[in-house]
Amino acid sequence: MATKPSAAKGSGPAASLQDLPVAFAFKVEFFGLPEAGSAVQSSFQEVSGLEQSLETEDVAEGGENRFIHQLPTAPKARRLKLKRGLIDRQSPFVKWCRKVLEGGLNEPIKLASVKVQLINAAGDPLLVWWCRNAYPVRWDIDPFNSTSNEAAIEQIELAYQYCSST
């Protein structure tokens, strides 16, 4: 019976899948929150909306109808979505969200920076994203259902000016 040759570590499709970072190990920190003297780390079950994109406008070439050029326009509006259980109602992050969303624009909105890190098993960052000039724009709580046995989950959306990764 012939045996398959074993792939050396780091070569072949099986080895490359093992080397990929896992998406469930991440940290989220907030910088510049009012009432917080330093960075505030908060736990979330899901983070989405880390994106960079540029809108384009189609322009037909004059006199030559076969070509349409895609010209860049303004960057697309972005939203960072953070999901977690209904916990920690007194954290500086929650106080900041409530002040912005319930404040009726009586005071200027304090912008913050959000640092999202994909980490390895040792807790070391593998990839880091910075969402700059962020502020809360939506706070939603999943529906309550007496026939389900699920945790109450809140989703907070933050608008941000730009996102960069290192």
Number of other residues whose CB lies within 10 A of the CB of residue 49: 16
6-46 pLDDT, tens digit each: 444 445 555 555 566 666 788 999 999 987 878 999 888 99
Let me know: does 81 contact 48? Beta carbons within 8 Å.
yes
Distance separating alpha carbons of residues 103 and 105, to the nearest angstrom: 5
Give me the pLDDT at residue 16, please. Answer: 56
Mean pLDDT of the chain: 83
What does the DSSP assignment read for 131-159? EEEEEEEEEEEPPP-TT-----EEEEEEE
Domain ranges of the chain: 21-165
Which CATH class, in words, describes the domain spanning 21-165? mainly beta
Entry pTM: 0.75
Q: Does position 75 have pLDDT exceeding 60, yes or no?
A: yes
